[in-house]
Structure 1
Amino acid sequence: MEQIVPLILESGRTAVDMALYLLMPVMVVMLALMKLLEAKGVLAFIANLLSPLLRIFGIPGMGVFAIVKILFVSFSAPIATLAVMDKDGTARRSIAATLAVVLTLSQANVVFPLAAVGLDLGVMMLTSVVGGLVAASATYYWFARQPVWDDGDQKDHAVEAEKPEPKSIMQIMSDGGQEGIKIVISSIPLLILAICLVNVLKLTGAIEGITWLLSPLLELLALPEAAVLPIVTKFIAGGTAMMGVTLDLLDQGALTVTDLNRIAGFAINPFDVVGVAIIISAGKRVRQVAKAAMLGAAIGVLVRGVLHLLIF
Structure 2
Amino acid sequence: MSELANIVLHAGRAGVELALFVLLPVMVVMLSVMRLLEAKGILDKLVAIVGPLLRPFGLPGLGVFAMIQILFVSFAAPMATLAMMDKGGSPRRHIAATLAMVLGMAQANVVFPMAALGLNAPVVMAVSTLCGLIGAGLTYHIFARNLPERDDDNPMVVKHKDADGPKGVLDVINKAGAEALKIAVGAIPMLVLALVFVALMRATGLMGLLEHLFTPLLASLDLPSSVIMGTITKYIAGGTAMMGVTKDFLDQGLLSVTEFNRLAGFWIHPYDVAGVAVLISAGPRVAGVLKPALLGAGVAILLRTLAHGYLF
Question: In 1, distance between residues paired with 2:290 and 2:158?
Answer: 26
Question: In 2, distance between residues paired with 1:214 and 1:52?
Answer: 46
Once the two structures are superposed, residues 7-56 of structure 1 have per-residue CA deviations (whole angstroms, 9 ceiling, x without a partner) of 11111011111122211111111111111111111222222211101110
Cα displacement (A) at 1:160: 4.8
Q: Which residue of 2 aligns with 1:286?
A: 286
TM-score by length of 1: 0.95
Q: Which residue of 2 aligns with 1:273?
A: 273
Question: In 1, distance between residues paired with 2:288 and 2:158?
Answer: 27
Contact 1:105 1:270 survives alignment (8 Å):
yes
Q: Which residue of 1 aligns with 2:148?
A: 149
Question: In 1, distance between residues paired with 2:222 and 2:46?
Answer: 39
Question: In 2, distance between residues paired with 1:160 and 1:7?
Answer: 46
Question: In 2, distance between residues paired with 1:184 and 1:49?
Answer: 33
Counterpart check, 1:96 vs 2:96: yes
Q: Which residue of 1 aligns with 2:204?
A: 204
Residue type matched to 2:283 in 1? G
Residue type matched to 2:262 in 1? R
Q: 1:100-179 maps to which residues of 2 (within 5 A)?
A: 100-146=100-146, 148-152=147-151, 160=158, 162-164=160-162, 167-179=167-179
Contact 2:161 2:172 survives alignment (8 Å):
no
Gaps of 5+ in 1: none
Cα displacement (A) at 1:293: 0.3
Contact 1:44 1:159 survives alignment (8 Å):
no
Q: 1:190-269 maps to which residues of 2 (within 5 A)?
A: 190-269=190-269
Question: In 2, distance between residues paired with 1:207 and 1:138?
Answer: 38
Cα displacement (A) at 1:209: 2.2
Contact 1:61 1:159 survives alignment (8 Å):
no
Residue type matched to 1:149 in 2? P
Residue type matched to 2:141 in 1? Y
Contact 2:234 2:241 survives alignment (8 Å):
yes
> Aligned to 2:235, what secondary structure does the other structure show?
helix
Residue type matched to 1:279 in 2? L
> Aligned to 1:224, what secondary structure does the other structure show?
coil
Question: In 2, distance between residues paired with 1:255 and 1:234?
Answer: 15
> Aligned to 1:51, what secondary structure does the other structure show?
helix
Once the two structures are superposed, residues 96-117 of structure 1 have per-residue CA deviations (whole angstroms, 9 ceiling, x without a partner) of 0000000011000000000011
Cα displacement (A) at 1:163: 4.7
Residue type matched to 1:7 in 2? I
Range with bigger deviation, 197-206 or 269-278: 197-206
Contact 2:15 2:192 survives alignment (8 Å):
yes
> Aligned to 2:218, what secondary structure does the other structure show?
helix
Cα displacement (A) at 1:159: 5.4
Contact 1:48 1:158 survives alignment (8 Å):
no
Contact 1:195 1:245 survives alignment (8 Å):
yes
Cα displacement (A) at 1:164: 3.6
Contact 2:38 2:161 survives alignment (8 Å):
no
Cα displacement (A) at 1:2: 2.7
Residue type matched to 1:131 in 2? C
Once the two structures are superposed, residues 119-156 of structure 1 have per-residue CA deviations (whole angstroms, 9 ceiling, x without a partner) of 0011111111111011101111111010x423326x9x
Question: In 1, distance between residues paired with 2:20 and 2:99?
Answer: 32
> Aligned to 1:202, what secondary structure does the other structure show?
helix
Q: Identity, % of aligned pairs?
A: 50
Range with bigger deviation, 77-86 or 216-225: 216-225
Root-mean-square deviation (CA), in Å? Answer: 1.7
Residue type matched to 1:191 in 2? L
Residue type matched to 2:204 in 1? T
Length, aligned pairs only: 309
Gaps of 5+ in 2: none
